[in-house]
Amino acid sequence: MVGYGLQLSLVACWVGGFASPAFCYHWYKTKNSVALSLYAAIIASGYIFPSSYSGSPSLKDFYMRYIFLPFKSSQRRFRHIPTKDDPGIVLYHPHGMFSWGFANGGAWNFFYYQRGFQGLVASSLLHAPGFRLLFVKLLGGINSAEKPELVRKMKNKESFGLIPGGFHEATIAYPGTSRVFLKNRKGFVKYALQHGFTLTPVYTFGESATYWNASGFWKLPEDVDKWHKAYMEHLKKHFDTYKKEFGGTEADSELEIW
């Protein structure tokens, strides 16, 4: 039950953060000053921590011990982990709705906390009130995926995690399919070439099975193209190598690169 409660807290922070304008409008119209005051306190508390604060170690340990228990199984296998002397980007596929693979294999796991890595996410999440307080300040481990922060990290040789498919990848996900949104996502390859970063692809089997999506409502220089193609080929090879062992419902599927 603890694990389900922690997963619910993530979902509530994610959904509630973006729905906060509607909540505030409702409380204003109904003259609910108590709810408005409490929500204002939550928003403010997400900004009062010093920028150097990297989260509560005890809270991190608690979350990482229990949040993934509701899943029947959860294994992580890395063949390459970037280091300070060999910096790199760890790239997670697919995005999914709540990016459990990104959380379990990176952004909020011991793997990142112990090495000081961060997972980079959409900047809008960093300003969603509940999400910012819990996952940016109290747990730490994530930062903005906007270009200035990405370039700053690469200039400083700081490794990080990224979901290159972004939320576009979530819109094409569907149980029983294996899809990544990658054909025209070349920016990470360009920056890796410019700064000498390695690229480590990570595929999370079972991510597309964690929610149901109503599919159907979506209709650089040569070196960049070369290595972008090589990355897609490596990701597909990586997928095919492990799909029988870890794929579950995806064990007989082919990876679709959109």
Residue 216 has pLDDT above 50, yes or no: no
Look at residue 173 in the predicted model and tell me its pLDDT: 80
Closest CA to 165 of 135, 207, 225: 207
257 strand-pairing partners: 180
Which of helix, strand or coil describes residue 14? helix
User: Of 42-56, 92-106, 107-121, 227-241, which one has max mean pLDDT?
Assistant: 227-241
Look at residue 72 in the predicted model and tell me its pLDDT: 61
Q: How far apart are CA 182 and CA 229, in angstroms?
A: 10
pTM of the predicted model as reported, rounded to 2 decimal places = 0.75
Stretch 126-145: mean pLDDT = 80
Contacts 24+ apart (CB under 8 A), 21-25: none
Query: pLDDT grade, residue 221 (50/70/90)?
Result: low
**Dihedral of alpha carbons 254, 214, 70, 128, sign:** positive
| Total domain count, the chain | 1
Measured torsion, CA atoms of residues 7, 159, 170, 236, in degrees rounded to the nearest 10: -120
Query: pLDDT grade, residue 220 (50/70/90)?
Result: very low
Which of helix, strand or coil describes residue 202? strand
Report the DSSP pairing between strands 179-180 and 198-203.
Answer: unpaired
State the residue range of the domain holding 243. Answer: 2-73+81-257
- What does the pLDDT look like over 142-194, one tens digit per residue? 888 899 999 999 999 999 989 999 888 888 887 888 889 998 889 999 999 99
For residue 200, the number of C-alpha atoms closer than 13 Å in the C-beta half-sphere is: 17
Query: pLDDT grade, residue 105 (50/70/90)?
Result: low
Tokens 């608690």 locate to: 62
- What does the pLDDT look like over 40-94, one tens digit per residue? 887 887 777 665 566 677 877 787 777 776 666 666 777 778 888 899 999 999 8
Stretch 240-256: mean pLDDT = 88
Tokens coding 66: 């229990």
Closest CA to 104 of 15, 236, 238, 204: 204
- Mean model confidence pLDDT for the chain: 81
Look at residue 101 in the predicted model and tell me its pLDDT: 79
Look at residue 60 in the predicted model and tell me its pLDDT: 77
Look at residue 107 in the predicted model and tell me its pLDDT: 60
